[in-house]
Structure 1
Amino acid sequence: MFHRRRATMAAFLLPAIVIYGVFMLYPLARGVYLSMTDSLGGPVANFVGTEQYRAMAEDPSVSAALWHTILYAAVVVVVQNGLGLLFASLLFRRPRVRKTLNVVLLTPTLVSPVMAAFIWSYLFAPEGGINALLGLLGLDSLQHVWLGDTSTALYSVAAVNIWMFAGYSCAIFLAGYMSVPSELLDAASVDGASGWRRFRSVEWPMLAPALTVNVTLSLIGSLKVFEFPFVLTNGGPAGATDTLTMLVYRNVFGGGKFAFGVALSVLLLVTVVVLSSATSSLLRLRERRI
């Protein structure tokens, strides 16, 4: 009976295992192999060991792109989740408008990233909506070439990412708020805890699982970002918004360095796995301590 049950379970699992192996494990293994060749994208490829990785380590554009990727992710994770938490806290305290405003905040996620980037490229233009609005408000001194200045381009691109997904973070935090026992909040009110004190002592600890989910998802998404820098700046100005995904695209599809681009994609994969795993582990450890 036991062996028959195991055979049945294996029969149900086999299709999923085959699909996972064909579409996930094989491409991953093939990619790692190609990163150790001199392939130009064709059928001919000679094994060269770690030559592509040595070239990658000596290329200053790679280290700059890695730094831009990590900085971009840090800005997006902090600001996006900060705004999401703020909006969720406000909506939780205003149940009458909660559903309506939550839908409004989620609306940007319904727009495709490419379309959102095109819209914001017009808003960020020197004669675009943002500078026009600053002019109407009498803040001409704050008008800027947002995407054309190396000091603001990366943060401007990150702002589009934040605008698009802050509502998504808000929805997850709001779900966390809804799971907080009402008895706990009532007890805090009876004890005189309100405002910041209630948030710090009661709400914030109870939002630990929502924080773990939000930070992990936003970190992974921002590390793999491609559409926003590609459409808004194409990596410019002067490489200020070049990310690892941009370098992978250029080398694989237009730079004549297919194997080098694949090696960059392996670096990106390792970066995403290491940073997201470490962050998730630390946040889950915090959950257990709470």
Structure 2
Amino acid sequence: MTEYAGVGEATWVGMENYQEIFQDERYLKVLRNTLVYGIVVVVFQNGIGLIFAAILNSLPAVRDMFRTALLVPSMLSLVIAGYVWQYLYAPMGGGLNELLGALGLQSLQQVWLGDSAIALFSVAAVHVWMFVGYSTAIFLAGYAGISSEIKDAARIDGVSPIKSFFHIDIPLLAPAITVNITLATIGTLKSFEFPFIMTLGGPDYATMTLGLKIFTLIFQDFKYGMAAALSVVMILLVAIITMVQNSYLRAREDRI
């Protein structure tokens, strides 16, 4: 509730910082970006992780090898991964556009990090790539807790693998789903590294998240009071979403 540049005396401004956050279009865009980023990462990271876990669970001979392979990206430094993908996304000579060109898909080539319409999703894709292995590992742990007798009984009754996945696997994986969604939500709502390394929040605030905006307010704009107010907003946002989410997911587990 102050205006403070890091040196000198802090000036009391009351609720002005919070009023600016919820009235200024730039801050509203930051909030929207953070929510969209979180939804995209949570849905795709856990959806892809669940599919990988289901496939690997049915292939015990190669399960451990592929599980390790999926965890390799998460062992990289976030900084290294960010710079590598920044190069792969480069519009001229970047690996992704070159691959699309080699496959005759020039129409799909994009300025991945320079187009405000797709930049946020491009950064989110890197987050999903890096941490989908974690989600897969947790789902595989959940699969280990499912009795083989249930699966055998379903197979004898003629239940198809797809019906078994939706009506047996997913309900019995409820605890793993709760853990994965909670961890992914908390991790993405405070995301900072990838937007900072790959785009610095651009173009035109398209990839500016709460974590990155707080960083720039402190170290570039020297607005410590505003950064503190935005930090409070982020903490409350994470807490509220996590509590609502956990309440629903735990109730779902109880019903199952």
- TM-score bracket, shorter-length normalisation: over 0.9
Identity score, percent = 49
Aligned AA (2:103):
L
1:135 is aligned, of 80, 94, 101, to: 101
Match of 2:230 in 1: 264
Q: Alpha-carbon deviations, 1:217-269, whole Å to 9, x = none?
A: 00110111101000111011111111111211111111131101111111111
User: What is the aligned length?
Assistant: 255
Instruction: Give me the whole-angstrom Cα distance separating, in 2, the residues matched to 1:194 and 1:178.
Output: 20
Distance across 1 between alignment mates of 2:244 and 2:236 = 12
Q: Deviations over 1:30-72 (max 9, x none)?
A: xxxxxx1222223622333212111222211110000000000
Match for residue 90 of structure 1 among 55, 68, 71: 55
The normalised TM-score by structure 1 is: 0.86
Write the distance in 1 (CA, Å) between the matches of 2:206 and 2:53. 33
AA of the residue aligned to 2:147: P
Q: Which amino acid aligns with 2:159?
A: A
State the distance in 1 between where 2:21 and 2:144 align.
48
Give the aligned residue type for 2:121. Answer: Y
Code of the residue aligned with 1:160 in structure 2: it is V
Partner of 2:86: 121
Matched position secondary structure for 2:11: coil
The amino acid across from 1:251 in the alignment is L
How far apart are 1:194 and its partner, in Å? 2.5
Shift of 1:160: 0.3
Counterpart position of 1:240: 206
8 Å contact kept, 1:41–1:259: no
2-structure distance, mates of 1:256, 1:42: 9
Deviation of 1:193 after TM superposition, in Å, equals 1.2
Does residue 72 of structure 2 align to residue 107 of structure 1? Answer: yes
Inter-partner Cα distance in structure 2 for 1:249 and 1:193: 53
Out of 188, 191, 213, the residue aligned to residue 179 of structure 2 is 213
The CA deviation string for residues 101-155 of structure 1, in whole angstroms up to 9 with x for no partner, is 0000000010011110000000000120000001111111111111010111000
| Aligned mates of 2:233, 2:127 — CA distance in 1 | 23
1:276 to 225, 228, 242: 242
Match of 2:193 in 1: 227
Partners of 1:204 and 1:256 in 2: how far apart? 48
- Secondary structure of 2:69's match? helix
Unaligned stretches of 5+ in structure 1?
1-35
Which position in structure 2 is the counterpart of 1:61? 26
Q: Which has the larger radius of gyration?
A: 1
Gaps of 5+ in 2: none
SS at match of 1:241: coil
| Corresponding residue of 1:31 | none
Partner of 1:198: 164
SS of corresponding position for 1:260: helix
Instruction: Indicate the larger mover: 183-192 or 233-242.
Output: 183-192
Supply the RMSD in Å over aligned alpha carbons: 1.0
Normalised TM-score (structure 2): 0.97
Distance 1:192 1:183 in 2: 14
Q: Is it true that 1:253 corresponds to 2:219 in the alignment? A: yes
Deviation, structure 1 residue 276: 1.3
